[in-house]
Amino acid sequence: MNKLLIVGTVAFDAIETPFGKTDKILGGAGTYIGLSASHFKLQSAIVSVVGDDFPQEYLDLLTDKNIDISGLEVVKGGKTFFWSGRYHNDLNSRDTLDTQLNVLADFQPKVPQNFKTADVVMLGNLHPLVQSSVLDQMDVKPKLVVLDTMNFWMDCALPELLDVIKRIDVITINDEEARQLSGEYSLVKAAAKIHTMGPEYVVIKKGEHGALLFHDHKIFFAPALPLEEVFDPTGAGDTFAGGFAGYITQSENVSFENMKSAIIYGSNLASFCVEKFGTEKMVDLEKEEVIARLQQFKSLTQFDIEI
């Protein structure tokens, strides 16, 4: 089986939405990416760090999903990264209520030996220096490196971000971030400019409005599935990225055509993520549900016009 190396936070989240609130629950980009990628035939590992306040049951949950956690450092006496946020009524925007970096502040990623030859590397949203450090540790050049990032790093660590962006194949960012990074309002122009920074493939996430894949003057669009109810958007972008990277890893095919299927899978998995609080739905998600929803994506988008 092909190998997927995931780097990203494993954390505690406390979430408030118009539908309720949670205490500290399992969260973090690495967690969502790992759970999402676990729907594919592959070997995966998460490189991350937690404190010894992190419950064994959460670690077990990851290993139960066949995720290798030998690269998940547990810092004795340390506290796990904690994020707390409150969503506005439309669920499209949120306020961060609290961020405690804790053990993440001094995180030095260590890639497990048997994942230094991973086929695909998924660099979740983290300091660009951490992302670079992971690439430095690879023994062979991966077939594909996917990077997720956010506006925070554009504000605080732009040179480092631009350095790591040069080394990757696919970047996934949201529309506002694409505009910020490129200085272009039009997403078509933004993607063209980001191409020149390094990545051959640019994925622009538009939340409930779907995602666009840009490559070499070609564009593909995956809608978000219209849902009766969105319960909690936390982790949707990471779940999307995990589905994308997981599908590519399984299929061993880094063509544009195959990436179309990958972002449909990403959108598919993300549509489940938002239906319950936190990771709740992703933990229980069955293969049959995913397959059935793929059929919905087909019905939603496929048409037949004779040209």
The DSSP bridge partners found for residue 50 are: 74
Dmax (CA) of the chain: 66
Q: Pick the stretch among 40-48, 108-116, 123-131, 225-233 that binds a second copy (CB under 8 A).
A: 225-233
* 3-state SS track over 112-148: CHHHCCCCEEEECCCCHHHHHHHHHCCCCCCCEEEEE
How far, in Å, CA of 263 to CA of 18, rounded? 29
**Binding region for a second copy (CB under 8 A) out of 71-79, 207-215, 238-246, 270-278:** 207-215
Contacts of residue 271, defined as CB under 8 A and 6 or more positions apart, other chains included, come to 224, 225, 227, 293
Residue 221 binding a second copy, by CB under 8 A = yes
- Residues touching a second copy, count (CB under 8 A): 38
Torsion of CA 112, 114, 116, 117, to 10 degrees: -160
**Token digits of residue 185:** 């309002």
Answer yes or no whether residue 253 interacts with a second copy by CB under 8 A: no
Tell me the window of 98-106, 145-153, 203-211, 277-285 that interacts with a second copy (CB under 8 A).
203-211
Structure tokens at 19: 């539908």
Q: How far is CA 8 from the centre of its chain?
A: 8
- Is position 216 an interface residue for a second copy (rule: CB under 8 A)? no
Question: Which of 37, 47, 230, 282 touches a second copy (CB under 8 A)?
Answer: 230
- Name the minimum Å distance from CB 301 to a second copy: 5
- Strand (E) positions, the chain? 3-7, 11-17, 20-21, 25-27, 43-51, 67-68, 72-75, 82-87, 94-100, 120-123, 144-148, 170-174, 201-205, 211-215, 218-222
Part in contact with a second copy (CB under 8 A); list of ranges 49-57, 95-103, 125-133, 205-213:
205-213
Q: Which of 41, 209, 252, 284 is the binder for a second copy (CB under 8 A)?
A: 209
Taking CB under 8 A as the criterion, which residues in 57-96 touch a second copy? Answer: 89-90
256 contacts 216 by C-beta, under 8 angstroms: yes
Nearest to a second copy of 57, 90 (CB atom): 90
What torsion do the CA atoms of 59, 234, 94, 203 make, to the nearest 10 degrees? Answer: 120
Binding of a second copy at residue 304 (CB under 8 A)? yes
Are 131 and 172 in contact by the 8 Å Cβ rule? The answer is no
Of 85, 112, 198, 223, the residue at the interface with a second copy (CB under 8 A) is: 223
Task: Choose which of 96, 156, 218, 255 interacts with a second copy (CB under 8 A).
Answer: 218
Among 206, 253, 275, 276, binds a second copy (CB under 8 A): 206
Among 227, 252, 255, 284, binds a second copy (CB under 8 A): 227
Using CB under 8 A as the criterion, what x/- string covers residues 177-196 for binding a second copy?
A: --------xxxxx-------
Q: C-beta of 90: minimal distance to a second copy in Å?
A: 7
| C-alpha radius of gyration, the chain, whole number | 18
Residue ranges binding a second copy (CB under 8 A): 89-90, 185-189, 206, 209-210, 212, 218-221, 223, 226-230, 257, 260-261, 264-265, 291, 294-295, 298-305, 307
